[in-house]
Amino acid sequence: MTEKLRTVTRIVRGDATADGAGVQLKRIIGGAELDMLDPFLMLDAFGSDKPQDYIGGFPPHPHRGFETVTYMLAGKMRHQDSAGNAGVIEAGGVQWMTAASGIIHSEMPEQEEGLLAGYQLWVNLPASEKMSAPRYQEISAEAITVEQHDDGLTIRVVAGETRQGNTGVIDNPFVDPLYLVVDAPAGSQLNEQVKEGHNAFIYLSKGKLNVADTARSIQAGELAVLSDGDALRLTAEQDSSFILVSGKPLNEPVAKGGPFVMNTRAEVEQAFADYRSGQLVQ
């Protein structure tokens, strides 16, 4: 059966901004250029060798109605939350936190050799799960499968399943995500399956990529929204590092209010009221 190759439909560069206690980052999804890509609500990329850009971290703050996914490229992030979870995400590790009905957490950076870098992705929850009990998954770098290709390309399989049959360490039945962290030396190729009907994107942190032999290559610092299809073929034109992410769209109303994402404005207002009265966390 002939594969339906995905192509690039849109390029997004994102906006420089600050969050938490002054952490400098780039907001690629959830900003002015791309409000969301269902089920993905936000994607932030952070990375600096200047401690003043990140040392304030993210002091205690609430969430309800979605999941946060933090992947560390360099340095560490210390997590603590109202559900009693605590841990340190190190380089190559991932934290997948399901805020659901409500959680208050802090994320405090710990640099290594002055450097901190990583991604945070917000993944929406269906209406049926927004008020379920919070969950927390923290996976070390050593527990994540690394797929090695003959041309030097490597894939860290965080979520989903690759064409070669390697599966991710994250359990998420709601949007059936694919989350691959790829390092591709110049000249290497990725031929990967991506489920048809799922929204998908590539974010390139370093290098230059060409998708499906098209005229416009993806440059470092760009997010490429992909067309629908069941396969992806790309070539690294330079030594490249990127993430490939896809998920099943929920196709539900979305109401955003700062740290809360619900289906209606009334539900967002209730979340704020619950937080102010101390009822957000049960």
Query: Binding site membership for Fe cation: which residues?
Result: 61, 63, 105, 107
Exposure of 52 by Cβ count < 10 A (0-12 exposed, 13-18 middle, 19+ buried)?
A: exposed
Give the HSE-up count for residue 210: Cα atoms under 13 Å, Cβ half-sphere. 13
Residue 259, classed as helix, strand or coil, is coil
> What is the β-pairing status of strands 145-148 and 103-110?
unpaired
* Closest to 169 in 3D by CA, of 155, 177, 158: 158
Distance CA 155, CA 142 (A): 14
* Closest to 159 in 3D by CA, of 269, 29, 248, 267: 248
Contact predicate 81/97, CB 8 Å: yes
CA distances for 144 relative to 71, 72, 165, 170, angstroms: 12, 13, 14, 9
First CA to last CA distance, the chain: 51
Distance CA 128, CA 20 (A): 29
Contact predicate 76/138, CB 8 Å: no
